[in-house]
Structure 1
Amino acid sequence: MSPARVSAFWRRWLQSQSLRGLLLAAITGALVPVFLLSFAQAFARLAHDREVVQSSLTDQVSISEEQALHVIETGKQALVRLSDRLDVRQGTAKCRETLAIALVGMPFVSNLARVGPKGKILCSAHPIYVTADVSDRTWWKEISPGPELSAAGPLIDRATGQPSLILAIGLLDQQGKADGHIVFGLDLKRLEADLNRRLLDRRARLTLVDAMGLSGGAQANAKDPIDVSRDNQGRTWSTASRVLVPKHLAVRYAMPDEVLYASTFFHMATDIALPLIALLFAGAATWFAMEYWAIRPIERLRGIAKHYGAGLVPKDQLGDAFEPQELLELHAELIAMAARVDVRDRHLVQIAKQKDSLVRELHHRVKNNIQVVLSLLSLQARQLETPEERAPLEQVQARVSALALVQRLIVESDDPAHASTIDVQLLLLDLCAQTRRSYPAQMHRIKIECQCEPLPIATDLAVPISMFVVEALTNAIIHAFPGEATGQVHVSLTLDAHRLVNLQVCDTGIGWAGTGPKLGTGHSLLTAFGRQLGSKLTLSDFNGGGSCVGVSFSLTAP
């Protein structure tokens, strides 16, 4: 699209919009960067808060991990010390008492036991009522025979009915062969409750879970991902996990997102809402300013212009207190201008009335003078004895009557002082009727027909048209029907598609061959009248025997 078309498009678009709409659009466009910046700031804050939340969750789960590992390490040290006692290694009768004493200082341990190399429980802090042979248990097969701490489970402790994690240290005899284990069951429910009591935020949840259920297993450790889940109530929780015992036990720390991101939600809402509030206030201020400082004053000024255009003097007072000074001054100037123009118009109307009176008087005097001329011509014609002597005066009288007819139509118009057009149909019909009255003796054998549609023409054209028609009718009556010959004379005026008027006067008389070798004064007059109409006279035959004279001219006076 060319630059000119683009410019035209925007010009048309701007012209079709209201001032209030354009200003609101401009303010909205100006605030768009603020919105974009606010959205960018909100999302940047969200990303930053995500990092802070992840760091906070990681720190909290690390603290709980250290506390849980401290419990496990304490249990390990206790196992190491017990493994050095002879009564425990040999599983003697004093073994149970020793294990029971050790269990008192280990609140998170459900039971302590010495298990022989073939899976038989030699002694335990709490009596074993189910069976003393654990060689067929799954956890027995999972623990390692070496001196390092190994684990199995979690599983439900049959003695307490609570979930427990089995931790064990393998014993070696003097020859270095496996000599069974010292094991204890870590009460996970009690440990979990203790860890929850130590949390600083009571809205958090800490749980001990099977490490095999975590995504990534043992690899989810130092840089654990933050998991997001939804509870039965529809709340969203963010969770961080740490592995306590690889493949066996992990700690999960969870906080509701509504707590973690409370400040984030507030700041994001603030970042987004403030520009929106600013837009609403700006829109309201713009609407108020435009309504009271521009739109209403402009509407009042337009009302003044409408009254002024209708020719009325506006009675509106000056604008209210909300209008600015410039519009108040413009308002006052328009009122004053309308008053001055009204005074001038009244003066012009008075002058125009005087002019109308003079023009009317002039038209009447011209009409009276023409009537005087007609009376003189009629008086002079009656003093002549023969028709041949009266014929020239009668022709002059017919021409003057045509002028009188045009003058009569002007005088009879609604406003003769401003009559710029007359109806050509009325003109031609009156000319034909007047011609019939002028030649009553010939009318019993010659018929005059007039065909014309209503058409307004300029008064400057009316005079040459009427003179042309009268001259053509007179020539046809006198020359086309010699003796007692009968026939018809047709007067027609038509308007073609190019707004060109065709005027013709045709007769069914003797034609051009019967007029003699020379054309007379009538031809000269018809040529002159055609020239006044801006056209050239045309002569032609009519119906194979008659004759036609015609002119073609534009409706605009030449």
Structure 2
Amino acid sequence: MRQGLILVVFAALLPVVAASFLQGQSALEDARKLAFERMIGTASAVAERQRDPFVIGQHLLLVHATNPDVTDMTDTCDAALRASLSSYPPITNIARTAADGTVRCSAIAFAGNINLAQEGWWQRGVSAKGMTITKAPIYGRIAKRDVLFLILPLRSGDGRQNGTLTAAIDVNYLRRALHDAGARNAGTLAIVTRDGKVVTDSNNALAFKPAMGAEPDQPIEARDKDGTMWIYTLHKIYSSDLFVVYAEPRAQLMATAVAQMRAGMLLPLISILLASIAIWVGTNRLALTWLRELQNMSARFAKGDFKGDQARFERAPEEIAAFSADLHIMADVIDRRNTDLTQALEAKSQLTREVHHRVKNNLQIINSLLTLQSGRVREGAAKEVLAQTRARISALALIHRLLYEQDNGYDRGEVAIDNLMAELCLQLRSARRSMFQVELTCHARNFPVPVDYAVPLTLFVVEAVTNAFRHAFPAGTRGAVHLNLDLQAGDAILEISDNGIGYSVTDEAGQMGTELMRGFATQVEGNLSIISSEGAGTQVILKFPLPNMSITNAPPLGSVPAF
């Protein structure tokens, strides 16, 4: 029940989980785009602020390139350069160098002779076709600090190289501006050259080398030496020589979006889990506990204990309490009917026992009368006939006695065959006690037979054993009579044998007993075989099918005491 309900809840919430997953993926993608746009916007804003010194420096160089005092390096050249820098600190100096690299005039006064002809950055700048910028910060000997040089090459009227105009941009100013911008953003800012060299950075140093060949204003991934993944973007500051890099760790950049996506996915799963727990606990307390109680009560009812415990189900749910009440009503009805049936069966059993008892008593009375009559008859055929009749009546009385005695299957109309054969052998031995020199041995397997089988089998044994005593042993002859009753492949085999003188099966002396035995064999649907020859004893074998009765787990073929 619980598993089924949980599956139903899971199936009901599965579309919600799928929709939450898809929504989370979509939200994550949207958040990714917004984060990338924010990064690009931050890099662009910082680049715009950092671009001003370079634009102004470029403008000043172009203006001074048209000033004859500057280009001709007159005595007023220093004053002209100094006047242009009076109110703009990012540009620390502007200088004019001659064609041989000698600094001829400068906005900042300097002493001595300064020649830049051997500086690689000046050589590249003076030979360039347009304005250039140094590839890395350079210590300015006039400004006395790290600067980036904007270099404008000059040409004479005939096109020959005529030195340069240079503007020194203060790297410290750029660094302070980056620090201020970095304090307002979660990531790392840096200014790098086209060769990937870091000019300056914010408080957090750039942990990886950016790929300068990547397309600007696009999100790019990189991994630092610690294995941390970064996402960064490039934005051009000045021409294609200088860029702003803005970078954030990928986990930090997407943390909020990932958390939202996980929350969106986990909430339905948590709902399923909580619903499953509620179903598990609820069904256990509201249904399964009471169903187990009902099951236990039903098991007691099935075993015949109809007492029940209806008060126990007063706190059960209404439906289960009603079902319990119905079961108790049914149990009460069954209990009353069982009581009535038990009483009726007991009365029937008592009556049956009484009938068997009276029949046995009547047969004993008849047997007593025959005994009295036999006592008045002289030795001869008549006396033998009376003795044979008494044996038969005693055998019938034995069956009725076993039926009314306790624990003998009387209520089922059954007789335990081993008890019957043992008692019968005692009677037959007693009836022939004068022939003490003949031994009677009985062996019988323990299984029940109905009365319809017990009567003909008993009379069969009486005829066979009596015939053996009468005809197999002349007066005074010693011998033995053996009775065996065993089971074989669903059939019962009754064998009565003696080691007497034997007889021909066609003798008139055995004809009467033989006919009776054949009649009794027919009543149990058996086959009778008589094997006898003069001087070799006699074997009487009756093979009959077992009646439809349960065979007990009795011990193997046992021995009834010999007589």
Give the TM-score normalised by structure 1.
0.86
The residue aligned with 1:40 is 22
The residue aligned with 2:212 is 217
Stretch moving more, 31-40 or 372-381: 31-40
Q: Select which of 67, 76, 88 maps to 2:70.
A: 88
Compared CA separation, residues 137 and 467, structure 1 to 2 (3 A): farther
Mapping for residues 107-256 of structure 1, pairs under 5 Å? 107-126=89-108, 132-143=114-125, 145-146=127-128, 148-159=130-141, 163-197=146-180, 201-213=184-196, 216-222=211-217, 224-227=218-221, 237-245=230-238, 248-255=241-248
Cα RMSD, aligned residues only: 3.1
Given that 2:137 and 2:147 are in contact with CA atoms closer than 8 Å, whether structure 1 keeps it comes out as yes
Tell me if 1:529 matches 2:520: yes
Compared CA separation, residues 443 and 34, structure 1 to 2 (3 A): farther
Given that 1:292 and 1:323 are in contact with CA atoms closer than 8 Å, whether structure 2 keeps it comes out as no
For residues 437-475 of structure 1, give each alpha carbon's deviation from its aligned partner in whole angstroms, at most 9, with x where no partner exists: 11122231x222222333344444322222222211111
The residue aligned with 2:483 is 491
- 1:104 alignment partner, SS class: coil
The residue aligned with 2:351 is 358
Amino acid at match of 2:212: G
Stretch moving more, 261-270 or 546-555: 261-270
The residue aligned with 2:390 is 397
**Which structure ranks higher in relative contact order (CA pairs < 8 Å, sequence separation ≥ 6)?**
2
Partner Cα separation in structure 1 for residue 388 and residue 329 of structure 2: 62
- 1:264 alignment partner, SS class: helix
The residue aligned with 2:317 is 323
Amino acid at match of 2:6: L
Partner Cα separation in structure 2 for residue 56 and residue 494 of structure 1: 103
Contiguous gaps of at least 5 residues in structure 1 = 1-18
Q: Residue 153 of structure 1: CA displacement?
A: 1.6
Compared CA separation, residues 158 and 521, structure 1 to 2 (3 A): farther
Amino acid at match of 2:292: E
Q: Residue 520 of structure 1: CA displacement?
A: 0.7
Q: Residue 486 of structure 1: CA displacement?
A: 3.1
Amino acid at match of 2:216: N
- 1:113 alignment partner, SS class: strand
Stretch moving more, 72-81 or 306-315: 306-315
Q: Residue 505 of structure 1: CA displacement?
A: 1.0
Q: Residue 256 of structure 1: CA displacement?
A: 5.3
Q: Select which of 467, 474, 477 maps to 2:466.
A: 474
Partner Cα separation in structure 1 for residue 458 and residue 333 of structure 2: 46
Amino acid at match of 2:177: D
Q: Select which of 433, 447, 460 maps to 1:455.
A: 447
Tell me if 1:346 matches 2:339: yes
- 1:520 alignment partner, SS class: helix
Tell me if 1:314 matches 2:297: no
Q: Residue 557 of structure 1: CA displacement?
A: 5.0
Given that 2:140 and 2:147 are in contact with CA atoms closer than 8 Å, whether structure 1 keeps it comes out as no
Given that 2:408 and 2:414 are in contact with CA atoms closer than 8 Å, whether structure 1 keeps it comes out as no
For residues 478-523 of structure 1, give each alpha carbon's deviation from its aligned partner in whole angstroms, at most 9, with x where no partner exists: 2222344432221111223x33222111122233537627851222
Compared CA separation, residues 450 and 543, structure 1 to 2 (3 A): farther
Given that 1:154 and 1:249 are in contact with CA atoms closer than 8 Å, whether structure 2 keeps it comes out as no
Q: Select which of 31, 39, 44 maps to 1:49.
A: 31
Q: Residue 149 of structure 1: CA displacement?
A: 1.4
For residues 86-129 of structure 1, give each alpha carbon's deviation from its aligned partner in whole angstroms, at most 9, with x where no partner exists: 23223344333333333334422343222222322223333567
Partner Cα separation in structure 2 for residue 175 and residue 99 of structure 1: 25
Given that 2:503 and 2:534 are in contact with CA atoms closer than 8 Å, whether structure 1 keeps it comes out as no
Q: Select which of 406, 412, 419 maps to 1:426.
A: 419
Tell me if 1:367 matches 2:364: no
Partner Cα separation in structure 2 for residue 31 and residue 512 of structure 1: 96
- 2:313 alignment partner, SS class: coil
Given that 1:542 and 1:548 are in contact with CA atoms closer than 8 Å, whether structure 2 keeps it comes out as no
For residues 171-225 of structure 1, give each alpha carbon's deviation from its aligned partner in whole angstroms, at most 9, with x where no partner exists: 0111111111111233334224224535794434321123323655255224x23
Given that 1:461 and 1:557 are in contact with CA atoms closer than 8 Å, whether structure 2 keeps it comes out as no
Compared CA separation, residues 502 and 26, structure 1 to 2 (3 A): farther
The residue aligned with 2:557 is none
Mapping for residues 512-551 of structure 1, pairs under 5 Å? 512-513=503-504, 516=507, 520-540=511-531, 545-551=536-542
Q: Residue 79 of structure 1: CA displacement?
A: 0.8
Given that 1:413 and 1:419 are in contact with CA atoms closer than 8 Å, whether structure 2 keeps it comes out as no
Deviating runs (4+, > 6 A) in structure 1? none
Amino acid at match of 1:317: A
Contiguous gaps of at least 5 residues in structure 2 = 197-208, 550-563
Given that 2:504 and 2:533 are in contact with CA atoms closer than 8 Å, whether structure 1 keeps it comes out as no
Compared CA separation, residues 116 and 413, structure 1 to 2 (3 A): same
The residue aligned with 2:456 is 464
Q: Residue 365 of structure 1: CA displacement?
A: 1.0
Amino acid at match of 1:531: T
Number of corresponding residues: 535
Compared CA separation, residues 322 and 50, structure 1 to 2 (3 A): farther
Partner Cα separation in structure 1 for residue 534 and residue 210 of structure 2: 115
Amino acid at match of 1:221: P
- 1:174 alignment partner, SS class: coil
Given that 2:482 and 2:496 are in contact with CA atoms closer than 8 Å, whether structure 1 keeps it comes out as yes
Compared CA separation, residues 102 and 455, structure 1 to 2 (3 A): same
Amino acid at match of 1:495: L
- 1:91 alignment partner, SS class: coil
Q: Residue 169 of structure 1: CA displacement?
A: 0.9
Partner Cα separation in structure 2 for residue 206 and residue 405 of structure 1: 120
Stretch moving more, 252-261 or 21-30: 252-261
Partner Cα separation in structure 1 for residue 475 and residue 535 of structure 2: 21
For residues 360-407 of structure 1, give each alpha carbon's deviation from its aligned partner in whole angstroms, at most 9, with x where no partner exists: 222211221121121122122222101422111211211222222222
Partner Cα separation in structure 1 for residue 532 and residue 51 of structure 2: 134
